[in-house]
């Protein structure tokens, strides 16, 4: 049997993968694959998961979790020099990247789609010395996912993010930022910005023109505007018309540098990112993946 490294996060979403473990194993065995599991917990070091995962030993890496789990696995693989294709079982609170790639949220359908597909390549983002699969962000509210209790996320899902975001409203303020790329030179004030390799964040379809294979990142900056103009802008976001707004800076690029004197954090796929300055690049075709539809 061909071997598959199976990395799963039992805490993702509502512990959904735990009820589906037998089905995942059965489907793979029937297809001629043997799963070698590695369970993620708070004390685990993902580097250990790849101590035996040489490219010639395994067919691919199967990841059960949300965007944060996939991000962590991809970074661990890069550190270990493992270039195997990955397959994603989207069982997390946020599964934006899997949705972008057309991977079913039904575990059985996802397994079947992965096993019947050919390896393809999609773009990968890099921010300083780390990689991101879906989105890197900074500004107001970007640390909400980091501050949200994991038990609360598992209990009420995305609502936990929204409730935590409401707690951050008293900190609403303008932020100074400098953005430099071949396409744009911006020195001004913003509320927050997102650099997308994917298309959605928290199920909000923000990077409506994103393409997983164009070698470009989609940069969206929500400029600092009078409070009275925020509601009309939010309505544009809901309609998908925000990228044409004068209050939003939008462009595509393969690299950019972001600087800010503000005491704000960065976020990579729901996990804390590096400190400023940020050197962000798109690695065209940098991720081998199965199950893309």
* Domain endpoint, select from 117, 144, 160: 117
pLDDT of res. 237: 86
Q: Looking at the predicted structure, is the pLDDT value of residue 151 above 60?
A: no
By residue range, what is the domain housing residue 272? 130-282
pLDDT of res. 55: 67
Give the integer Cα–Cα distance in Å for 181 and 197: 16
pLDDT band at 160 (very low <50, low <70, confident <90, very high): very low
Q: Are both 22 and 159 inside the same structural domain? A: no
209-261 pLDDT tens trace = 999 999 999 999 999 988 888 888 888 888 889 999 999 999 999 999 999 99
Q: What is the CATH number of the domain that holds 41?
A: 3.40.50.10330
Is 197 inside any structural domain? yes
| DSSP designation for 51 | S
More confident residue, 270 or 106: 106
pLDDT of res. 152: 43
Which residue, 85, 82, 91, 67, is CA-closest to 13?
91
The count of structural domains within the chain is 2
- Average pLDDT along the chain: 88
Q: For residue 85, how many C-alpha atoms fall within 13 Å in the half-sphere facing its CB?
A: 17
Q: Is the Cβ–Cβ distance between 211 and 274 less than 8 Å?
A: no
Kindly tell me the burial class for residue 154, based on how many C-beta atoms sit within 10 Å of its own C-beta (0-12, 13-18, 19 or more).
middle
Span of 61-70, 111-120, 164-173 with lowest mean pLDDT: 164-173
Is 42 inside any structural domain? yes
């Amino acid at each position: 049997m061909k071997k598959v490294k199976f990395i799963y996060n039992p805490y993702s979403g509502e512990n959904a993968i735990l009820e589906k473990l037998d089905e995942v194993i059965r489907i793979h065995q029937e297809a001629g694959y043997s799963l070698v599991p590695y369970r993620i917990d708070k004390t685990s070091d993902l580097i250990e998961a790849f101590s035996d995962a040489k490219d010639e030993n395994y067919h691919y890496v199967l990841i059960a979790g949300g965007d944060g789990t996939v991000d962590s696995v991809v970074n661990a693989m890069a550190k270990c020099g493992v270039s195997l294709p990955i397959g994603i079982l989207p069982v997390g609170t946020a599964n934006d990247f899997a949705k972008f790639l057309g991977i079913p949220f039904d575990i059985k359908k996802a397994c079947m789609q992965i096993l019947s597909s050919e390896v393809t390549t999609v773009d990968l983002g890099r921010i300083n010395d780390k990689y991101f699969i879906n989105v890197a962000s900074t500004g107001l509210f970007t640390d909400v996912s980091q501050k949200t209790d994991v038990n609360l996320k598992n209990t009420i899902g995305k609502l936990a993010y929204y409730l935590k975001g409401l707690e951050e409203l008293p900190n609403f303020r303008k932020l100074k930022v400098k953005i430099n790329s071949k396409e744009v030179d911006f020195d001004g004030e913003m509320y927050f910005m997102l650099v997308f390799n994917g298309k959605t964040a928290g199920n909000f379809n923000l990077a409506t023109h994103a393409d997983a294979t164009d070698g470009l990142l989609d940069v969206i900056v929500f400029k600092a505007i009078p409070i009275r103009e925020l509601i009309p802008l939010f309505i544009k976001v809901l309609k998908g018309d925000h990228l044409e707004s004068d209050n939003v800076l939008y462009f595509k690029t393969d690299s950019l540098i972001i600087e800010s004197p503000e005491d704000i954090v960065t976020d990579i796929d729901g996990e804390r990112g590096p400190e400023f300055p940020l050197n962000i690049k798109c690695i065209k075709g940098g991720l081998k993946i199965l199950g893309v539809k």
